[in-house]
Amino acid sequence: MSSPTPQTAPFPVRVFGGPTALFEYGGLRFLTDPTFDGPGDHQAPAVVLTKTAAAAGSPADLGRVDVVLLSHDEHADNLDTSGRALLADVPLTLTTPGGGERLGQAATGLADWQSIELDRRDGVPGTVTVTGVPAIHGPGQREEVEPICGEVVGFVLTGEDLPTVYVSGDNASLDAVKEIAERFAPVDTALLFAGAPRFPDVFDGGLIVLDSAQAAQAAKILDAGRVVPVHYDSWAHFTEGRDELVAAFAAAGLADRVDFGVRG
């Protein structure tokens, strides 16, 4: 695996718990899957989602947010009540095609491989390109999974003299990761949603997002220079946490590639 080049040195990533992270890229400030509600239960179509810990910060702590990268809008562990309220103050939310229709005018849905160009805000002429990439929220083929867990999208960010960044969203498919790697590897920074979430009554307890070992495998597939794990704490249905991630990446010989970000 290659190492980041000087012009693609890692940038800070602030993590807030669950799938929520904030980073600056090309002068634009990106927030992933905003979840800032306190602990408690949220009813999903087939199960109850229980939040177990408060976020490491609040929307008021974020400062300016230019773009929300929302893997999907249908589950509270990716977009909760306070997250929805926050969207009203953000100029652009990128999400699934269905989510783009549900969330209204400030939201744009991206199909697989569909891109949008955004003007940079770092004083450098040019644009940041955000490309929607495949994600499958459960075991099996998309047509089997989406009727149960819904549509999900991942994102790849690129720009001239900028690092390549992958945000996986709630993806359980290494085949999808391979498709992304064919187009974009090596990836400089991968924000990988992990946590090995399972429900006994959904897909017979099968994984609906990557487990720790799969996250390490995804890092190898992507030839990722850095992995920032998210989506592994603060919710009861996550069955693996930081310790399992550390062990899995160490076993894969990738311990030096893991960056747990800056908390809050």
Beta bridge partners of 31: 22, 68
The predicted-structure confidence for 17-36, as pLDDT tens digits, reads as follows 999 999 999 999 999 999 99
The predicted-structure confidence for 94-103, as pLDDT tens digits, reads as follows 999 999 999 9
| Alpha-carbon gap, residue 121 to 26, rounded angstroms | 6
Q: Output the pLDDT for position 3.
A: 43
Main-chain dihedrals φ then ψ at residue 196, nearest 5 degrees: 50, 50
% of the chain exceeding 90 in pLDDT: 77
Domain ranges (residues) in the chain: 13-254
Write the single-letter amino acid at 125. Answer: P
The predicted-structure confidence for 171-194, as pLDDT tens digits, reads as follows 999 999 999 999 999 999 999 999
Q: Output the pLDDT for position 252.
A: 97
Does residue 216 have a pLDDT over 80? yes
Write the single-letter amino acid at 177. Answer: V
Does residue 4 have a pLDDT over 70? no
Main-chain dihedrals φ then ψ at residue 137, nearest 5 degrees: -90, 55
What is the helix, strand, coil percentage profile of the chain, to 5? 25, 30, 45
Q: Output the pLDDT for position 7.
A: 41
- pTM of the model as a whole: 0.94
| Alpha-carbon gap, residue 193 to 182, rounded angstroms | 20
Check: CB of residue 1 under 8 Å from CB of residue 155. no
- What is the assigned CATH class of domain 13-254? alpha beta
